[in-house]
Structure 1
Amino acid sequence: MREVGVPHPRLPLPAPGERDDPQAFLAWLGEAIPMVEHLGIREMRQEGERLVWELALVPNLNDKGTGFGGALTAQTTLLGWCWTTLWLRERGHARDVVVAEARQRFLAPVTGDYRLVCEPEGEQGPGTLAERLASRGRGRIALVQQLWCGDTLCLEAHGDYAVLPIA
């Protein structure tokens, strides 16, 4: 049981140049953030610069029988946090990440199981973040998350994620 005000232990970093095992990372995430086990995440995978979640709709239903906007918003924010955290971990950094700004645009109702895709908003984002971390010890990256129900884009979110300086 998590305690208020007590940080969860960090997951050990992967070997240099390697990526985290997605299932091990998801298991740790579920311990670190208790609500994760209720989000319906069935799979997490990395596809180049993209991080993809496959999700079940049932745990995220609203009173109308479609996707609950609050749950979907939480998922987009968390997916961006995961993208940033995994990017850092792949480069050997165990750093704190926070969402600095987030906005969503709902385009169509979510009526079935869906996938969320997260990637940098611009090609320069990862390079700029790496440069800022090296020169200032902190940085930010803009990410975009898209929720797809089949071939229908239902939600697009944008978030800025801040990598905090080492305390």
Structure 2
Amino acid sequence: MMTQLARFRKRINEVIPLTRSLAVELVAYDGRQLLVSAPLEPNHNHQGTAFGGSLYSVAVVSAWGLVELLLADAGLTGNILIQSGEMDYLEPVEGDFYALCTLTDENLMRRFHKSLARYGKGRLNLTAQIFRGEASLTSGTKPLAAFRGRFVVQEARTDFCKL
């Protein structure tokens, strides 16, 4: 049986073509975290560090992808949109990097699912952090950049294809 992450890996380059150019790899998903990596080579700037737009894009992919996978885990599909987003660039990223988006608030998750069930829409505020080096769900280092964004799900409905 194919996992949600494996299904998502198969279609990410189709639904977000930019991920091919960024060489994004969906590394791990555990039901609360999505880990996305990218190599420096196709994402560097004129100074040899990671381009800010690439860092932002990989962070957004990790947050948007987490919402997509959370919906799939609930047997739902919907239109996922980014409503707002901002990025803090804390230090230059001088090598391969990864973004880790984590949903830690259980109450937030309950409210999100309740809203989806009642109204067919919901919002999640998420944070994705950028780290350098080998991708890991338990990074022991400080982030080099941090993305904060609000994602909106509209028209949430049961995904009959996966039932």
Same fold (TM > 0.5): yes
* Structure 1: distance between partners of 2:92 and 2:13: 27
* Unpaired segments ≥5 residues, structure 1: 1-14
- Whether the aligned pair in 2 keeps the contact of 1:122 and 1:142 (CA below 8 Å) is no
User: Percent of pairs identical after alignment?
Assistant: 25
Q: Identify which of 130, 146, 150 aligns with 1:156.
A: 146
Question: Which residue number in structure 2 is paired with residue 75 of structure 1?
Answer: 58
| Greater Cα offset, 89-98 or 41-50 | 41-50
Higher relative contact order (CA 8 A, sep 6+): 2
Matches within 5 A, 1:1-12: none
- Whether the aligned pair in 2 keeps the contact of 1:23 and 1:44 (CA below 8 Å) is no
| Greater Cα offset, 149-158 or 105-114 | 149-158
| Greater Cα offset, 150-159 or 68-77 | 150-159
- TM-score (normalizing by structure 1): 0.81
Q: When you count helix as a share of all residues, which structure comes out higher?
A: 2
Q: Identify which of 102, 107, 116 aligns with 2:85.
A: 102
The root-mean-square deviation of aligned C-alpha atoms, in Å, is 2.0
- Whether the aligned pair in 1 keeps the contact of 2:116 and 2:156 (CA below 8 Å) is no
* Structure 1: distance between partners of 2:104 and 2:51: 25
Question: Which residue number in structure 2 is paired with residue 12 of structure 1?
Answer: none
* Structure 2: distance between partners of 1:64 and 1:128: 44
Question: Which residue number in structure 1 is paired with residue 39 of structure 2?
Answer: 56
Question: Which residue number in structure 2 is paired with residue 7 of structure 1?
Answer: none
* Unpaired segments ≥5 residues, structure 2: 134-140, 158-163
